[in-house]
Amino acid sequence: MTSPNIVWTRIDERLLHGQIRITWGKHSEANLILVANDDAADGPNAAFMQAGMKASAGGEYAVRFFSIQKTIDVIAKASAKQKIFILCNNPTDVARLVEGGVPILHCNVGNMHYHEGKRKLTKTVSVDDKDIEAFERIVKCDVTCTIQNTPDQKPIDILSVITETA
């Protein structure tokens, strides 16, 4: 069996929205956006969440909503024609994916908003201890994690920023 054609993986608290379609989707040349998120796939508001995200995709991409476990279970069955953009809203889910065998090589960190108990790393990325532990797990699996809000910005290694702001 061939490896799935994962062209981009991004953490964005907002999941699928216009910036993803307009900037990252085109940048990655994806044709399928896989929202890997338990709530969006099976949560009580899944239908509502999915409708909004499908509208944001503008019909330019096939869109799938899988739980983290389903993504782990079925990603190897993806067609070679599928250029997959995996979208998660937190680093713990990405850690679960890579630890579950999903062959992610790079994780782009976009928007993780400030909430009580988090510390600001950059204008668009704030983390707490759970997030830091998840990023460490991801990197331990040989996945590069960089903060980059838009493709024209210079990527910044997440662990170096965490260390600098500690």
Active site residue 17: yes
**Residue 144 burial (CB < 10 Å; 0-12/13-18/19+)?**
middle
Nearest CA-CA partner of 158 in 84, 66, 95, 69: 95
Instruction: Measure the CA–CA gap between 105 and 7, rounded to whole angstroms.
Output: 9
**Tokens found for residue 141:** 């699996």
For Cα atoms 126, 127, 131, give the angle at the middle one, nearest 5 degrees: 145
Instruction: Measure the CA–CA gap between 138 and 132, rounded to whole angstroms.
Output: 10
Catalytic residue of the set 17, 27, 106, 113? 17
Instruction: Measure the CA–CA gap between 57 and 73, rounded to whole angstroms.
Output: 25
Catalytic residues: 17
